[in-house]
Structure 1
Amino acid sequence: MTVHRTIELIAPSGYPHDPEAVHRALQRFHAQGHRVEGVEVTKRRYQRFAGTDGERAADLNRLADPARALPDIVLAVRGGYGAARILHGLDYEGLQRRLTDQPVALVGHSDFTAIQLALLARAGVKTFGGPMITSDFGAEELSEFTLQHFWSALTKPTMTVTGTTPQAHAVNVSGMLWGGNLAVLTSLIGTPYMPPVQGGILFLEDVNEQPFRVERMIYQLHLSGILAQQQALVLGDFSGGKAYDYDNGYDLHAMIEQVRSVIGIPVVTGLQFGHVHNMLTLPVGAEAHLVADAHGFKLNLSGYPTLA
């Protein structure tokens, strides 16, 4: 039996540059019988943003209004840039009162990482790193993998994520799963919006960043003491960085080996998360158990919101 959901759109960052992608996504949701609210946010424009800072913050703050029924899913339209500009304007106390232990899924990735980490840090609200309207649900060719994993993650109280990439060392650790986009996450170091995660399992992804830039940001996490507090670092997709002759053999693999040699915690690779066509949906703030060896890895997850 198909369950019809209420999906509320929010646009905390950039505006959609392809209206056709929005149209495709809406058509697909409507064809499945879902109700989509907040479509007007896809049409707002202010400079390079999907509305003014006040408008974009209001999208999220509406969720704190007890007079409004909560949707099942709160879905980010796209990433880009702009979430950092509204973090100070969010009603964390109201969002905590309204969303804690409720069957509501807030979903997005990329620039949405700033919202997710701020909600975790200031309100203890758990969210999902996952697909968005324009790049995923509105893609010309919809990924069946992305779609199936999205609905499975949002409706089942436990999930297991596996990978077949052979790992350099055996790993068997437990902790809170957290993370997201590397550039966005590192930009929050030293702010009140970086969650103080002790003993966590940190997952990272990024796009269009050279290996040396990725390394520099991971070093910032290392030198600031954040990585030393984690049980493991799990790397997702880092596509889009170009190779240059000047790199002289220094590539993503060399970068990972360098990071592995200095950070003092296990590094697991091959997580199917990031700016990729076939993408996992991962609960940020969930309880996690990670096992890895020469045959791949297994990540068991629980303790996150699921839809009623």
Structure 2
Amino acid sequence: MTTLTLFSPSGAVAKPVALKRAAKRLGQLGFDVDVDADALSREQRFAGDDATRLAVLHRVADAAPSIALASRGGYGLTRLLDQLDWGRIAHSIEHGTRWVGYSDLTALQNGLVARFKGLSMWAGPLACDDFGRTEAEGGVDEVTRDCFLEAMSGALEAVGFRAPSAEFDGLEARGRLWGGNLTVLCSLLGTRHWPKVKGGILFLEDINEHPYRVERMLLQLQQAGVIDAQAAVLLGDFGGWAKVPNDRGYGLKDAVAALRARTKTPVLTGLPFGHVRTKVCLPVGATVELYVQGREALLGWQSDPRLAHGHDHDHHH
């Protein structure tokens, strides 16, 4: 049986019933679900004080379940990075634990990439957001669910998506996959938790950030030499913002154009990932290959030999 632990490393779970619903649904999908003792702890906006959440990460790492799925993101992992026993986290991954989440989990995922080669975590769904919604709120997205199940079984070896145009037709790139939430990633720049990845494939997403703020962060990465050192950049969803009269037509396309004008690195849009219902799973830290044919992009990798069932799957969005 595949063991799955639900834990809260960042923000407090606002609706305990959502976590309960997620646990039930994941159980129905065939997982042996365990909810961490502090999954519903609260201290201000956090899922327990720093010591509690640090202990949670170490406890989950030591238990080394098949899957460690975060309940939600928010904010809080940045506080723990300096105290975290990274060796224990790495040990759990070497023993087969797949850590899954996105948003604030970006800090944990990239802190790992900064320290270890050959180890990866999964950028993927969160328990409450993706498995805890009521049917009235839309329930569970089928693509998100199926992609998660495939990734967790070791069968997922590629995800496909469609770019808005064919301008990168013929592009082929290979490198280490890293990135995640743009705001969280930028907060690591200049710290010892920053992955010094050269020739990598950087993916980015964010929510509730106006395009000028997105542009400012993208240009920060470009001006720091980060974007120029990558083989390719993949942009996911950047929703949740509202236009203001001052924009006068300025939007996300302009933010992306400003970045493209300043770098030779291919910047592709359309990756189905971010604070959206439909999201794929991505192996942060793994070596991936990117192929673009016309508007069709395919991101592939070697599945984990410890989990593989010997079949080749491609999850197309």
TM-score of the pair, normalised by structure 2: 0.90
Match of 1:25 in 2: 22
Q: What one-letter code is carried by the residue in structure 2 that aligns with 1:130? A: G
Match of 1:286 in 2: 286
Q: In the alignment, which of 118, 121, 128 is matched to residue 114 of structure 2? A: 121
Match of 2:246 in 1: 246
Q: In the alignment, which of 89, 103, 108 is matched to residue 101 of structure 2? A: 108
Q: What one-letter code is carried by the residue in structure 2 that aligns with 1:104? A: T
How far residue 303 of structure 1 moved from its aligned partner, in angstroms, is 5.4
Q: What one-letter code is carried by the residue in structure 1 that aligns with 2:88? A: G
Match of 1:197 in 2: 197
- Partner SS, residue 243 of structure 1: coil
TM-score of the pair, normalised by structure 1: 0.92
The 2-side partners of 1:167 and 1:19 are apart by: 45
Match of 2:93 in 1: 99
- Partner SS, residue 37 of structure 2: helix
How far residue 306 of structure 1 moved from its aligned partner, in angstroms, is 5.9
The answer to whether the aligner puts 1:72 opposite 2:69 as a matched pair is no
The 2-side partners of 1:275 and 1:106 are apart by: 18
Match of 2:180 in 1: 180
Q: How do residues 158-169 of structure 1 correspond to structure 2 at under 5 angstroms?
A: 159-165=157-163, 166-169=165-168
How far residue 288 of structure 1 moved from its aligned partner, in angstroms, is 1.1
The 1-side partners of 2:303 and 2:147 are apart by: 17
The 1-side partners of 2:157 and 2:108 are apart by: 23
The 2-side partners of 1:28 and 1:146 are apart by: 14
Q: Tell me if structure 2 keeps the 8 A contact 1:87–1:115.
A: yes
Match of 1:16 in 2: 13
Counting matched residue pairs gives 301
The 1-side partners of 2:252 and 2:89 are apart by: 39
Q: How do residues 203-222 of structure 1 correspond to structure 2 at under 5 angstroms?
A: 203-222=203-222
Cα distance change on mapping 1:115 and 1:304 into 2, 3 Å:
farther
Q: In the alignment, which of 129, 132, 136 is matched to residue 126 of structure 2? A: 132
The answer to whether the aligner puts 1:58 opposite 2:51 as a matched pair is no
Q: What one-letter code is carried by the residue in structure 2 that aligns with 1:146? A: T
The 1-side partners of 2:192 and 2:42 are apart by: 29
Q: Tell me if structure 2 keeps the 8 A contact 1:50–1:56.
A: yes
> What value does the CA root-mean-square deviation take over the aligned residues?
1.7
The 1-side partners of 2:245 and 2:167 are apart by: 28
**1:255-296 deviation line (CA, Å, top 9, x unaligned):** 111211112200111000001111101100111111224322
**1:83-131 deviation line (CA, Å, top 9, x unaligned):** 100111111123334433x322100000010011112212443100000
The 2-side partners of 1:256 and 1:190 are apart by: 24
Cα distance change on mapping 1:262 and 1:251 into 2, 3 Å:
same
- Partner SS, residue 228 of structure 1: helix
- Partner SS, residue 93 of structure 1: helix
Cα distance change on mapping 1:18 and 1:167 into 2, 3 Å:
farther
Segment of structure 1 superposing worse, 9-18 or 121-130: 121-130
The answer to whether the aligner puts 1:146 opposite 2:140 as a matched pair is no
Match of 1:228 in 2: 228
The 2-side partners of 1:50 and 1:276 are apart by: 23
Cα distance change on mapping 1:61 and 1:42 into 2, 3 Å:
closer
The 2-side partners of 1:144 and 1:279 are apart by: 10
The 1-side partners of 2:266 and 2:217 are apart by: 17
Q: Tell me if structure 2 keeps the 8 A contact 1:7–1:72.
A: yes
The 2-side partners of 1:306 and 1:155 are apart by: 10
The 1-side partners of 2:38 and 2:91 are apart by: 25
Q: What one-letter code is carried by the residue in structure 2 that aligns with 1:160? A: A
How far residue 163 of structure 1 moved from its aligned partner, in angstroms, is 1.3
Unaligned stretches of 5+ residues in structure 2: 309-317
Match of 1:44 in 2: 41
